[in-house]
Amino acid sequence: MDTRPIGVFDSGMGGLTAVRQMIRMLPGEDIVYFGDTGRVPYGGRSVETIVRYARQDVAFLRSFDLKAIVIACGTVSTTALDVIIEENHIPILGVVEPAARAAAEATKNGRIGVVGTKATIRTGAYEASIRKLLPEVYLTAKACPLLVPLVEEGRFKRGDFVSERIVEEYLSPVKAQGVDTLVLGCTHYPLLREIISDFMGTGVTLIDTGEQAARAIAALLTERDQLNDRTRNGERRYYASDSAEDFAATASLYLGSNIAGSVERIDIELYLNKAWRSTKARPVE
């Protein structure tokens, strides 16, 4: 047992879909969440900017004494995971590896689709990770840049004509490839699950990256004997780089529960690659 909290971060609110699963599976764990709502979205930005922002996010989280960090952001997991692992000496989990494993296990016909932000799809990280496990797999990937803004506008419910139309437009070429498994490579996308599932059909398994990351951290902590007792009442603290009120107001959509009063605003720009400096003593780029 190790009562230190698990740190979780995302570019904004999407990572809360992972926290929701973690709370369900690991109710005894303390969680510190940071959502970079002052700079969201990351998905269309350059690699250099994403790496820089990720370093700052980790530097903030490491102002707490953590037992592990979950990168609950598809964009950061595909773009900056190696850098973050190299620079930090605690276990770091991204969403790619667990989702790739689940997809490889789920597929029956060996045809898997991947959707995510522009930055995520540009890296090809999900595909590379799946191919390692399943060398003969057929893969097709599609960037879906408008899905995050649509989710953030609350337009994810069945019957939203625009979201249904956009999902159809993005997913038609993926569906046409006959995939039986689709990786939702962005933690915002589980909110669109019904619309995506309606379009893809019941024969297609949707892989929820947040859920898989929660399973992976549960396995890791079990293996290291760091898991808290399930009867312990885990505490959760939420931090955002924009308004705490706005964060609390929207969080329940992703989290399924109300967190008013437990959100605090921080100034992420004060965390200038701090973790990196302290572990490496190299000048800031």
The residues in 42-81 that bind its own copies, with binding defined as CB under 8 A, are 44-46, 48-49
- Cβ-count burial 185-209 (b if 16+ within 10 Å, e if not): bbbbbbbbeebbbebbeeebbbbbb
Q: Which member of 25, 90, 146, 266 binds its own copies (CB under 8 A)?
A: 146
User: Which one of 17-25, 33-41, 75-83, 93-101 is the stretch in contact with its own copies (CB under 8 A)?
Assistant: 33-41
Q: Which member of 246, 248, 249, 274 binds its own copies (CB under 8 A)?
A: 246
Q: Which member of 3, 145, 248, 262 binds its own copies (CB under 8 A)?
A: 145
Q: Does 150 bind its own copies (CB under 8 A)?
A: yes
User: Which one of 39-47, 77-85, 104-112, 210-218 is the stretch in contact with its own copies (CB under 8 A)?
Assistant: 39-47
Q: Does 39 bind its own copies (CB under 8 A)?
A: yes
Per-residue binder mask for its own copies (CB under 8 A), 153-192, x = binder: x-------xx--xx--x-----------------------
Residue closer to its own copies (CB basis): 17 or 56? 56
Minimum distance from CB of 80 to its own copies (Å)? 15
Residue with tokens 């399924």: 256
The residues in 254-273 that bind its own copies, with binding defined as CB under 8 A, are 269, 272
User: Which one of 37-45, 129-137, 191-199, 208-216 is the stretch in contact with its own copies (CB under 8 A)?
Assistant: 37-45
Number of residues that bind its own copies (CB under 8 A): 25
Which residues in this chain contact its own copies in the complex, by CB under 8 A?
37-39, 44-46, 48-49, 145-146, 149-150, 152-153, 161-162, 165-166, 169, 241-243, 246, 269, 272
